[in-house]
């Protein structure tokens, strides 16, 4: 039975687990011998980040950032705020931003530009969800779990006003 305000399950818990396993294998092979730094933009990416890191079978490091562009809306405001910066230097490092969803691309575009100025050896993007129909900025992920249509989704870390993050699946939000 779907939760209140979940119109339907878009991606099931088992589909997520299978794709996270595949992405973990790809990243393991790509970064073998490179001690990559995985960057988690808080808060939405936490579930995906934790599950993905458990599937990466090489030495690596992690760090966190807090960025925001949504406030209390279901649509990105376009105004990017850095609320918490990295605690480590990424200069010369192989870095991967692990994102929950790329929508307009505004937030991630600004974040990537900011991090590129710190001279990493490489900077890639791994996203669980990609919504290219909404893209405003020229930005493509290097690794993508699922491409989805223009729907407002919740669950598996993604929220509406801090609710629904704990759903084990990705659902389509309905305000009815």
Q: What is the pLDDT of residue 116?
A: 96
Q: What is the pLDDT of residue 59?
A: 97
- 10-residue stretch averages of pLDDT, the chain, 176 residues long: 78 98 98 97 94 98 85 57 91 98 90 94 98 92 97 94 94 87
> What is the predicted pLDDT for the residue at 70?
56
What residues act catalytically? 103
Buried b (16+ CB within 10 A) or exposed e, 54-91: ebbeeebeeebbebbbbeeeeebeeebeeeeebeeebe
């Amino acid at each position: 039975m779907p939760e209140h305000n979940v119109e339907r399950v878009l991606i099931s818990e088992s589909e997520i687990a299978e794709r996270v396993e595949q992405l973990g294998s790809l990243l393991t092979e790509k970064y073998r011998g490179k001690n990559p730094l995985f960057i988690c933009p808080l808060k939405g990416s936490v579930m995906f980040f934790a599950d993905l890191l458990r599937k990466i079978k090489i030495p690596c490091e992690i760090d966190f950032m807090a960025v925001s562009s949504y406030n209390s809306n279901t649509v990105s405001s376009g105004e990017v705020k850095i609320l918490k910066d990295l605690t480590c230097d990424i200069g010369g490092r192989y870095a991967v931003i692990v994102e929950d969803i790329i929508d307009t691309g505004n937030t991630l575009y600004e974040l990537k530009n900011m991090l590129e100025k710190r001279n990493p050896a490489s900077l890639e993007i791994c996203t669980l969800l990609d919504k290219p129909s909404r893209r405003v900025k020229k930005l493509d992920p290097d690794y993508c779990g699922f491409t989805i249509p223009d729907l407002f989704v919740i669950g598996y870390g993604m929220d509406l006003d801090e609710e629904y993050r704990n759903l084990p699946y990705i659902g389509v939000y309905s305000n009815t």
